[in-house]
Amino acid sequence: MIEVERVDYVRVPVDDIEAAKHFYGEVLGLPRNEHLDHEDWVEYETPNVTLAVMTPESHEYEFTPLPPATIALRVPDVAVAREKLQAAGLEAGETWDSGACRGVGVTDPAGNRILLHRRYAPYDDGTPPSPS
Amino acid sequence: MKVEKVDFVSVLTRDLARAKRFYSETLGLRIESEGESDLEFSLGQVTLDVFDPTSIGQEFEPSPAGIAVRVPDVAAARAELEAKGVEFEGEIVHTSVCDMTFFKDPDGNALILHRRHAPFADGRMP
């Protein structure tokens, strides 16, 4: 059996790298990996997973946006996050509540549908949601 | 905006039983939870959610994200997966900093076997 150790990065395909840098770096406030200086591959670091914002056209495949919720970002408060997205001029979906977690979808400038997410209920075995 | 972490990454499937076999038996991922319309796997530091979108009335779309999973040895892992019938796209790519090879799950979701071998620009090792 192969040994999968962890996720090194998740590609986020975009068609406008400058618009993407504004969204991921300024609106979402993710820190950029300053050790890379590629113009078509910009890495943003969440505490556990690297998001590689990149242009498929310069990497020999065709741009297609991500399906909904490919990436679920944990935020402290989904409603507050939604307000901040709207204040930034972005169109956020309606906030939903599954009974265990809340979420709101937002579409990045390239059309990738990102989920902002927060679980609040304990798991079935009584374990509380993991701290940040 | 404060983003605390990635809670999960997901791929969509049209056949949950087939996806279960692929991620648990072929890739060897541990199942964290199993529901009627989704499966959660441990993918190192993050959860991989495999979800049937038709259960909530959404259409299936394969993901081009190309989740890059770290393996100890890209060539050895590729050979092992090829022996299990997994088809790869092109040869292994050797860059100045990493090895990687591209493939898809049975639903067409893009995946990458990846191993960085060079230190980062600040001298940190991978």
The domain locations on chain A are: 9-57+64-119
Residue ranges of chain B whose pLDDT lies below 70: none
User: Is some CB atom of chain A closer than 8 A to the CB atom of B81?
Assistant: yes
In B, minimum Cα distance to A101 occurs at: B7
Chain B partners within 8 Å of A69 (Cβ): 10, 49, 51
A34, A88, B118 from A43: Cα distances, Å: 8, 22, 17
pLDDT for A14: 97
* pLDDT of A132 strictly over 60: no
Name the minimum distance, in Å, from the CA of A123 to any CA of chain B: 10
Shortest CB distance from B6 goes to which of A46, A61, A64? Answer: A46
| ipTM of the complex as predicted | 0.93
In A, minimum Cα distance to B122 occurs at: A35
Best of A7, A73, A86, A112 to mutate (most B CBs within 10 Å, chain B): A7
* pLDDT of A27 strictly over 80: yes
pLDDT for A131: 63
pLDDT for B30: 97
Residue type at A32 in one-letter notation = R
In A, minimum Cα distance to B27 occurs at: A2
pLDDT for A19: 96
pLDDT for A107: 94
A58, A89, B67 from A8: Cα distances, Å: 21, 32, 8
* pLDDT of A35 strictly over 80: yes
Mean pLDDT of chain A: 92
pLDDT for B35: 92
Task: Give the E-state strand segments of chain B in sequence order.
Answer: 5-12, 30-34, 38-43, 46-51, 67-70, 88-94, 98-104, 110-116
Q: Tell me if the domain spanning A9-57+64-119 has CATH number 3.30.420.10.
A: no
**Whole-angstrom Cα distance, residue B80 to residue B65?**
23
**Whole-angstrom Cα distance, residue A19 to residue B74?**
34
| A60 confidence band (pLDDT: 50, 70, 90) | confident
Q: Are B106 and B23 in contact (CB under 8 A)?
A: no
pLDDT for A86: 92
Q: Per-residue pLDDT averaged across A34-50, rounded?
A: 92
The β-bridge partners of A51 are A10, A44
pLDDT for B49: 97
User: Is some CB atom of chain A closer than 8 A to the CB atom of B100?
Assistant: no
**Whole-angstrom Cα distance, residue A66 to residue A64?**
7
pLDDT for A128: 80
Q: Per-residue pLDDT averaged across A1-23, rounded?
A: 96
> What pLDDT, in 10s, does the model give residues A75-126?
999 999 999 999 999 888 999 999 999 999 999 999 999 999 999 998 878 8
Predicted TM-score (pTM) of this structure: 0.93
Tokens representing B102? 């591209």
Name the minimum distance, in Å, from the CA of B41 to any CA of chain A: 12
Cβ–Cβ of B66/A10 closer than 8 Å? yes
Shortest CB distance from A66 goes to which of B3, B8, B65? Answer: B65
Shortest CB distance from B4 goes to which of A7, A47, A52? Answer: A47
pLDDT for B65: 92
Q: Where are the alpha helices (DSSP H) in chain B?
A: 16-20, 74-83
Q: Per-residue pLDDT averaged across A13-18, rounded?
A: 97
